[in-house]
Amino acid sequence: MILNTHSICKYIFSTFEPRNKSSLFVEELLLTLNFPIIMTKYIFVTGGVSSSLGKGIISASLAKLLQARGYRVTIQKFDPYINIDPGTLNPYEHGECYVTEDGAETDLDLGHYERFLNVPTSQANNITTGRIYQNVISKEREGCYLGKTVQVVPHITDEIKRNMRLLGENGAYDIVITELGGTVGDIESLPYIEAVRQFRWEKGAHDCLVIHLTLVPYLAAAGELKTKPTQHSVKMLLEYGIQPDILVCRTEHHLSQELRKKIALFCNVNINAVIESIDASTIYDVPLLMLKEQLDKTVLTKLKLPHKNEPDLEHWKDFLGRLKNPTSEVTIGLVGKYVELPDAYKSINEAFIHAGAKNECKVIVEYIHSEFLNETNVKEKLSHLDGVLVAPGFGERGIEGKIAAITYIRENQIPFFGICLGMQCAVIEFARNVLNLKDAHSTEMNSQTSAPVIGLMEEQKQVINKGGTMRLGSYPCELKKGTKAFSIYSKAKINERHRHRYEFNNDYLQAYEQAGMIASGINPDNHLVEIVELKNHSFFVGAQFHPELKSTVANPHPLFVRFIEAAILQAKKRN
Ligand code: GLN
């Protein structure tokens, strides 16, 4: 056994479970002696009154502040639906599906966690009810509960608690923030709320706290902010045995001291635990708003953790400064078929914000429905744009619109960026109009095409199940010297995240390269084409992977940064 501070302290504490006065004494003593944190602390974030209050952003903002004070923080999300993961969900249902390094298909909130913290997440950071039940049912089949009736309490709640603890177990994090999806009072959230109640009882108040995010609506007719919905929602939590420690109140108007007092009194919390979360112009303002409200200090005090230094947010503030004071402006067309719901392209939108700030440029994204694009209207719809991004997607709907857009963009030297299906469409377009293979297509859309320039990957041919079976997660890619891709990344070896079944058909590679479309990024292990680009174009790049998933505030993605740079030049040319 390796003896380090963490394992020694873990041993000491395991003899004091559940936590009691003696363990708290030891912990306080060690903290006073400046020992590193011994036991991971857990913060749960619940939501009340209404959905879409922004639990993900509040969790990410709190995590950012704690990280900026020197704590090692991660965030996980529990989603109360029965799907094993959101991978099989239509984007209209649940927005974008976010893919992690380890290839998990997850909730889009994980994207916010990574963008704020600049730390990768993994499968363990997103758990659904489906996965919890799947684990319990497999254990039942293995005979782990022989002789017992398997029930929601304790078996499902135990499995939820096991997953709640998982990220905190190896000493990698000082604080684990767990966001519970759904709204308190939903039938499907009940086992999670019960698990939090038990978890807190087992851990004790200094190791575990509950933040409840609630709404304080403004009634225009009365000219007043109303606290009643918050009171009711806290009452409901109390019925389930949970007294929230901190209330974060979403509001359109500032909360007066009097109103804070009222909420504190009726919800049994300290007045400094009533935190105002006023509507912000950008989600990236929220960490600073929470800092002003001292959410981080209140959390640390309640968890009996040292406040350490004031949060170091210099880089964050610099980013905000650039974001809010642009010196130029570009309009980018985002051609896709889910444009009615911008959440379907969440990471792409955020990557534009990061790349815009880096270039001190305001990026206006104009959504263009691919289904309504055709050869006769592309000029009217696209000629005013400084750049066009053709989006990822699945299936036939809107595909011809995307291809028509690419012909116009290619022929008129408008900066082009194709992601996944967008890249595949660029390959099809080039085959049809430059290589003169009029019937060229992806076998996803036309299995009978005589020129299958995009085809099913070898490893996909036997796959029948739909869930979690695509080429998922991080894969290496080697960039060819002298290409645009190489100059953008400034290195030869990169790793990017994937989510697709189809690939560039290498039988056609030579013909493409001879005609001017080159494969500038190749997977070194299986030679799959990962990036294509046009030689004779100001910026025409297609990526088989999803660069948007790796763009963060601290590290804007170079492909997006350079695409915006090209768009700025295009804007100058047009004016
Ligand atoms: N439908 C394409 C494939 O499976 C592209 C997927 C995507 O855009 N994510 O290969």
- The Å distance, Cα 48 to ligand 1 centre, comes to 37
Which protein residues touch ligand 1 with a CB less than 6 Å away? 392-394, 420-421, 444, 499-502
Beta-bridge partner residues of 210: 44
**366 is a catalytic site residue:** no
Catalytic residue selected from 420, 441, 444, 477 = 420
> Which numbered atom of ligand 1 lies nearest the CA of 502?
10
Residue 361 falls in the annotated catalytic set: no
Q: Give the whole-angstrom CA distance, residue 187 versus residue 182.
A: 10
Give long-range contacts, CB 8 A cutoff, 24+ apart: 15-18: 17/202, 18/201, 18/202, 18/203, 18/204
Nearest in space to 184 (alpha carbons), one of 301, 50, 324: 50
Helix residue spans in 55-174 (DSSP H) = 55-68, 91-94, 109-117, 129-142, 157-166
Distance 537 CA to ligand 1 centre (A): 25
**Reported pTM:** 0.92
Closest Cα to atom 3 of ligand 1? 500
Q: How far is the CA of 545 from the centre of ligand 1 (A)?
A: 9
Alpha carbons 190 and 36: distance in angstroms, whole number = 35
In whole angstroms, what is the distance from residue 144 CA to residue 139 CA?
Answer: 5
Which position among 212, 548, 557, 565 bears the catalytic label? 548
| Residue pLDDT tens, the chain, 575 long | 444 555 555 666 555 555 555 656 666 666 666 555 568 999 999 999 888 899 999 999 999 999 999 999 999 999 999 999 999 888 888 899 999 999 999 999 999 999 999 999 999 999 999 999 999 999 999 999 999 999 999 999 999 999 999 999 988 999 999 999 999 999 999 999 999 999 999 998 889 999 999 999 999 998 999 999 999 999 999 999 999 999 999 999 999 999 999 999 999 999 999 999 999 999 999 999 999 999 999 999 999 999 988 999 999 999 999 999 999 999 999 999 999 998 999 999 999 999 999 999 999 999 999 999 999 999 999 999 999 999 999 999 999 999 999 999 999 999 999 999 999 999 999 999 999 999 999 999 999 999 999 999 888 888 888 888 999 999 999 999 999 999 999 999 999 999 999 999 999 999 999 999 999 999 999 999 999 999 999 999 999 999 999 999 999 999 999 999 999 999 999 87
Q: Which of 477, 546, 557, 565 is catalytic?
A: 546
The Å distance, Cα 56 to ligand 1 centre, comes to 27
Active site residue 208: no
